[in-house]
Amino acid sequence: MSASTADSKSGGRFAWLKPPQGGTDGTMTLIDHIRELRYRVTIAVIAIIVVAIASGFFYNEIMQFIAAPYEKAKADVLAATDGAATIELTNLGVVSPFTLAIVGCLLAGLVFSSPVWLYQLWAFVAPALLKNEKKYVLLFVGFATPLFLAGCALGYIVWPRGVALMLSFTPRGMEIVNLLDMVDFLQKEVMIMLVFGISFMLPLLLVMLNLARVVHGFQLGKARKFVILGSTILAAVVTPTVDPFSMLALVIPLTTLFLVAEVICRLIDKKRGITEENATEFSVDLDDGK
């Protein structure tokens, strides 16, 4: 029986409650990495569910907050059409109110538990860092959490503008009632908030990879124009509406954050003495397990 197998069995049925420790030299087998991933995902999911359940006690307040973009979009459309447009937010079906409650509470759980699952993300990547670089865990969580929340907030602000733009195409002079399914409205709102929130953390991921000696600043410089093009394509694909305002609202800050990440990575490489010529000597060897 291998050491990793023995360690996995030493805790009995509750072994999953503890992350694998690896070997005496700090290395981990593929099975240990899988167990580590399972452990981190389990803790993150438990945190999200616990916060989501606690959010149920503030269900009405959460729904009012979620419905605020609809009221803003409706006001904009009515102002643009001189009150001629007819827009109503509806629940379609018997289970729609329950589905609405589940989605709303899960959104609150995901947002408010972000420090926990962001820490689990860092803890999974941290073993690839040098010992003196693992101290950046608090800095990562400290930057990742506000970046994620800022992205979600921007998505929350952009969403009603996108809705208003799409509803503005309703033909005038016709008795057309725009019925918006509340569940569908919320799902798209959640999607755009998460897309913005996760996208805002991508540049931080580049800095993490740079600390792990996987990516270097000069490589980001060479990929800059492709990143700008990729950001535009990403915004066009992932935003639930097709309006240019929502796309630009994601492309501009994402490109700006990438440029900031590139500068930070170049500064880290300069401190380490890494250049384009000697970068191979400092790159991590993914095959040696160190």
Residues 152-180: pLDDT tens digits?
898 888 888 878 877 777 777 667 777 88
Residue 9 lies in a domain: no
The tens digit of pLDDT for each residue in 206-257 reads: 887 787 777 888 888 888 888 888 888 877 776 655 567 777 877 888 888 8
Residue 242 lies in a domain: yes
Average predicted confidence (pLDDT) for the chain: 77
Domain count of the fold of the chain: 1
Residue 266 lies in a domain: yes
Nearest CA among 288, 248, 282 for reference residue 265: 282
What is the rounded distance in angstroms from the CA atom of residue 123 to the CA atom of residue 147? 18
Give mean pLDDT, residues 38-52.
Answer: 90
The tens digit of pLDDT for each residue in 49-100 reads: 999 999 989 888 888 888 888 888 888 777 776 766 778 878 877 888 888 8
Neighbour tally for 215: CB within 10 Å: 20
> Domain limits at 124?
27-282
pTM of structure: 0.71
Residue 229 lies in a domain: yes
Residue 217 lies in a domain: yes
Residue 16 lies in a domain: no
What per-residue string of b and e applies to 48-85 under the rule 16 or more CB within 10 Å gives b?
beebbeebeeeeeebbeebbebbebbbebbbeeeeeeb
